[in-house]
Amino acid sequence: GENVEQHPSTLSVQEGDSAVIKCTYSDSASNYFPWYKQELGKGPQLIIDIRSNVGEKKDQRIAVTLNKTAKHFSLHITETQPEDSAVYFCAASRGSNYQLIWGAGTKLIIKP
C-alpha cells in the first residue's frame, strides 16, 4: 500500500543553523504534500504545503521542495529558533476522497 518514509526521526541543530527533514512517498499518483508541526501538548498544525505542479514553495523561514521524479520532498527551516522545537510530520495524498498518508514524524531539537 501507499507509504511515506520520513527521516531523520530526531534532528538536533544549533540555534541559528538550518534544519532539513526529508520524506519519500511510494504512490506516484500523490499530488499534495503538507507539513504539520506538533508542539508539546497540542495537536498538529499545518505550516506549509505544496502541490505537484510546483517544485518549491517558501514562507518566511520555511520552505518545501518537491522532486516528483525521485518521489521525495523536503522541509527546510533556516535560522532556527527555540520555538521551532517540535515534532514535524510530512504527509502525501492523491487529493479529494483519498486520505492523507503520514510520515512517522521528526523530533526537532534546537540547542541554545
Partner 1 sequence: KAGVTQTPRYLIKTRGQQVTLSCSPISGHRSVSWYQQTPGQGLQFLFEYFSETQRNKGNFPGRFSGRQFSNSRSEMNVSTLELGDSALYLCASSSGTGGFYEQYFGPGTRLTVT
Given 64, 91, 108, 110, the residue binding partner 1 (CB under 8 A): 91
Residues of this chain, 26-65, that bind partner 1 according to CB under 8 A = 32, 34, 36, 41-46, 49
Q: Please, which residue, 21 or 103, has the CB nearer to partner 1?
A: 103
Least separation in angstroms between residue 28's CB and partner 1 is: 15
Dig out the grid coordinates for 19 from the structure: 534544519
CA distances in angstroms from 46 to 1, 38, 43, 50, 58, listed in the order given: 25, 9, 10, 11, 14
Nearer to partner 1, 48 or 77 (CB): 48
CA distance 63 to 84: 14
- The 10 Å Cβ neighbour count of residue 48 is 18
In degrees, rounded to 5, the angle at the alpha carbon of residue 6 between the alpha carbons of residues 30 and 63 is 75
CB 88 → partner 1: shortest distance, Å? 11
Closest to partner 1 by CB, 9 vs 81, is 9
The site that binds partner 1 (CB under 8 A) totals a number of residues, namely 25
Cβ closer to partner 1: 77 or 101?
101
CB-CB contact of 72 with 8 (8 Å):
no
- Binding-site ranges for partner 1 (CB under 8 A): 32, 34, 36, 41-46, 49, 89, 91-100, 102-105
